[in-house]
Amino acid sequence: MSVVLSTASLSATDRSELWHHAVSRTFIPLDVRLLEEEPSPGRIVSNQLGSLRISQVQAGPQTVTRSSRLIRDGKEDLILTLQQRGTAIKEQDGRQARIGPGDFSLSDSSRPFRKTVQGDFSFTSFQFPRTDLRVREEDLRAVTATAFSGQEGSAALVSAYLGRLAREAPGLDAFVGRQFAATALDLLALLVNEQCGRDPQVPETAAATLVRVKDHILRHLADPGLSPPDIAAAHRMSVRYLHKLFQLEGVTVGEWIRTQRLERCRRDLLHSPALGYGVAAVARRWGFVSPSHFSRAFRAAYGMTPREWQTHGLSGDGRKGGEDGRKGRAGRRNGGQGEGTPPRTGALHRSSPSSPTLGASCPTPRPTRPPSSPHSRP
């Protein structure tokens, strides 16, 4: 559920103090100085995906500072900001960078930094614990207050993925959201390693290679012929190395593909009656061409048949049971990882707008041809 903080309903004289509270409450303790005599309305909309907090921010000109005094709170987060409107000047670690629309940059809350925007602006921020980004300390210090262009190279891939993730976040459930958030951080780690000239074949970037492989799988998820040899060939690696990559997460290639397909079928089954789709049609849409195989896999994963989930899920009776069963199995697959921290709340005017489930998760695979094989291989 999105958390909305807004100063639009407040008088201009009250906005300064309460905006300061909103910014520090949403992100980290910061000194905020507004650069208008009568502050413009500000708005922050936040969603939580595991440990990743995504916030869309709109406001007027201001300077925010993370001083040594405020660092005593012990908060060690990284904040990536993807600029949509306005130009920001960022300062950290002896560098200054101009961040224009389409660019993004990193700030480290464990050290002082400053950001100034002279006009109205909007950006999307991605905040997460510093330890979640698996890069070397010296490499991280080398890329703060650096402008990454979202128009070219690896940075363009990161920018596009983050932008799409922010748009889809309100419609993602906790399990799927955590997976996409982890993919985002792996992509960012790959970019940092590339920026610092690290050899992409060293073990510390195996996870980044896995990110690229997963992205390929998700884009071809609807193809019933998707197989480990095809995936390995597309990335110029051996099938053996492909399986070793997935061993990093304690699953096989086939198990991961099946989990992704089942998650999308589970979501689509709740909407299929209104769209005129039957259970078999939903299964085919995500690469299952044998109805009996799909039904067995679904029951094994969620503890009920697809039709039971569809019936009870629509009425609301089966959601908790299905979710609890899925979370238990997901926890075992992921080493007992728990739910993410719920979004914080603030003292300002807040509302919880409805967040309809979107028609597709991020990214959105679509079938490109009718199934031609009698059984889905994974």
3-class state of residue 102 by DSSP: coil
Residue 130 CB: number of other CB atoms within 10 A?
14
Residue matched to tokens 């459930």: 173
> Measuring CA to CA, which residue among 126, 124, 127, 117 is closest to residue 40?
117
Q: How many CB atoms lie within 10 A of CB 18?
A: 19
The DSSP call for residue 362 is S
Q: How would you write the pLDDT of the chain (378 residues) with one tens digit per residue?
A: 688 899 999 988 888 889 999 999 899 999 999 999 889 999 999 999 999 999 999 999 999 999 999 998 777 999 999 999 999 999 999 999 999 999 999 999 999 999 999 999 999 999 999 989 988 899 999 999 999 998 888 899 999 999 999 999 999 988 889 889 988 998 998 899 888 887 554 444 677 788 889 989 999 999 999 999 999 888 878 888 899 889 878 899 999 999 999 999 998 888 877 667 789 999 999 999 899 999 999 999 999 999 998 887 655 554 444 444 444 444 434 444 333 333 333 333 333 333 333 333 333 334 333 333 334 444
Q: For residues 6 and 349, what is the distance between their CA atoms, to the nearest angstrom?
A: 6
Alpha-carbon Rg for the chain, nearest whole angstrom, is 22
Peptide bond into 353 cis (omega under 30): no
Q: Burial letters for 89-112: b for 16+ Cβ neighbours within 10 Å, e otherwise? A: ebbbbeeebebeebbbbbbbbeeb
- Asked if 44 and 4 touch (Cβ cutoff 8 Å), the reply is yes
Residues 270 and 291: their CA atoms lie apart, in Å, by 18
pLDDT of residue 329: 46
CA atoms of 241 and 105, how far apart (whole Å): 33
Q: How is the chain split among helix, strand and coil, in percent rounded to 5?
A: 45, 20, 35
User: Distance between CA atoms of 161 and 155, rounded to whole angstroms?
Assistant: 10
Q: What is the pLDDT of residue 327?
A: 46
In this structure, are residues 355 and 170 in contact, taking their beta carbons and an 8 Å threshold?
yes
Tokens of 355: 């967040």
247 SS3 class: helix
Gap between the Cα atoms of 166 and 159, Å rounded: 11
